[in-house]
Amino acid sequence: MRVYSKRKCKNTEFYGMFTGIIESLGVIKEIATVGTNKTFWIESPLSSSFKIDQSVAHNGVCLTVEDIKDNLHRVTAVDETLSKTDLNQWKIGAHVNLERSLLPTNRLDGHFVQGHVDTTGTCTKIKDKEGSYEFEFDFPKKFAELVIEKGSICVNGISLTAFEVKKHSFKVAIIPYTFEHTNLQFLKEGDLVNLEFDMIGKYILRKLSL
């Protein structure tokens, strides 16, 4: 496995590598615009355990912890990130899925996730299946080759399995535990979500296109 690092690997974490298994929910407490960037202060049970310069996935977006105060931490999204994710629509009080970088000793319960969001999708349908939930999402058709039946996909940082895959839509089934411990419980039809397609699939598609 390649070790991803901004400068060097610290605290034995694989920087920019995640599993899509959400650890905690955070709540956005403050938003500031600085030039073309946006800065967010987020409150969570994990914030006090973070370290400056640590990589943390926020709704599937890999962001660097810049400051920590008690149970709050600060991150900044640059223009490139804002243009490809749902971060421009974040509001104070919104809930964010959080996951720390993968440790070499962790079991890989989800799939390899980089925190590099490819595009946004739209939630088009939510069904309560009386014991589970079914969500349907639309996404740009140009990414159709990267979504396969029973393949892995990352939605708001959550590792999920796609089914009933069409040219620009797919469904996922959500167990009660995932629903209750992620911000899917707050999702409404018409909301945007961050999508990251399977890394291996992207490499294969790139190779075939050369």
Tokens encoding 22: 């959400």
Task: List, for the chain, all residue ranges whose pLDDT scores fall below the cut of 70.
Answer: 1-16, 104-108
Read off the DSSP letter of residue 163: B
Task: Determine the pLDDT at residue 105.
Answer: 66
Tokens encoding 91: 């509001």
Q: What is the pTM of this model?
A: 0.87
Tokens encoding 17: 């590598």
Task: Determine the pLDDT at residue 117.
Answer: 95
**Sheet containing 67-69: order of strands:** 61-64, 55-58, 95-100, 24-34, 37-43, 72-77, 67-69
Task: Determine the pLDDT at residue 11.
Answer: 41
Q: Rounded to 5 degrees, what are φ and ψ at 146? A: -95, 0
CB 133 within 8 A of CB 42: no
119-209: which CATH topology?
A: Elongation Factor Tu (Ef-tu); domain 3 (2.40.30)
